Structure 1
Amino acid sequence: MYTFAFEKLEVWQLSRQFVAKIYKVTADFPDEEKFGLVSQIRRAAVSIPSNLAEGNARLLKDDKARFFQISYSSLMEVVNQLIISLDLGFINE
């Protein structure tokens, strides 16, 4: 049973799972990255389902599209940060 309409979105459900995976992966990063890359990756990941939820609540199509685009942009931010993490040896493929 769903309380909010956005909970029915498959993309929102998948993004929640993605956030959980990001938190698990970044838990093993070096301590000195706790307030750097780890914080940045986690905030960007959380932004994905957050913007999907907010966009889904908007009444105008343009507003919805704007928030969905922000969500996608946050996903690309996380992808970039994971590539950097790979380059730095914090994660493997």
Structure 2
Amino acid sequence: MRDYKKYDTWKVAHELVKEIYIVSENFPKSELFGLTSQIRRASVSIPTNIAEGCGRSTDKEFARFLEISIGSTNETEYLLLLFCDLGFTSEDKLSSLNPKFNQTKTYTT
């Protein structure tokens, strides 16, 4: 069994979740149970799937959970783009997140 806390990718994803929660605090209250909830769940899914994959017994299972994590990364990226388009935030405020998205898509040990 792997220790997910030793993976740099998990560490970056964990930091990304915390930043998403901070950014989403300023989203309209009318979206609390809609898009705000969706982006929070999508971002939490990134490190969660890495952690779950680390608990699997085969490399194939581990790889599958990493793929799911990448899908959640893409979903989170899209939702941030949507939030920008809807005027809930600006690309300038989110520019620091882009490197983290790229790092979570590159899995290294």
TM-score interval (norm. to shorter): over 0.9
- Counterpart AA for 2:64: R
- Counterpart AA for 1:40: Q
- Counterpart AA for 1:57: G
For structure 2, the residue ranges without an aligned partner over 5 or more in a row are 92-109
**Residue 81 of structure 2: which of 69, 83, 86 is its match?**
83
Q: Match for residue 101 of structure 2? A: none
Distance in structure 1 (CA, Å) of the matches to 2:7 and 2:55: 12
SS at structure 2 position matched to 1:29: coil
Q: Match for residue 6 of structure 2? A: 8
SS at structure 1 position matched to 2:87: coil
CA RMSD of aligned residues (A): 0.9
Q: Match for residue 51 of structure 2? A: 53
Instruction: Give deviations 1:53-85, integer Å, cap 9, x for gaps.
Output: 010111111101110000000000000100100
Number of aligned residue pairs: give it.
90
Distance in structure 1 (CA, Å) of the matches to 2:14 and 2:54: 15
Give the TM-score of the pair, scaled to structure 1: 0.94
Runs of 4+ deviating beyond 3 Å? none
Distance in structure 2 (CA, Å) of the matches to 1:56 and 1:76: 21
Q: Match for residue 103 of structure 2? A: none
Q: Match for residue 28 of structure 1? A: 26
For structure 1, the residue ranges without an aligned partner over 5 or more in a row are none
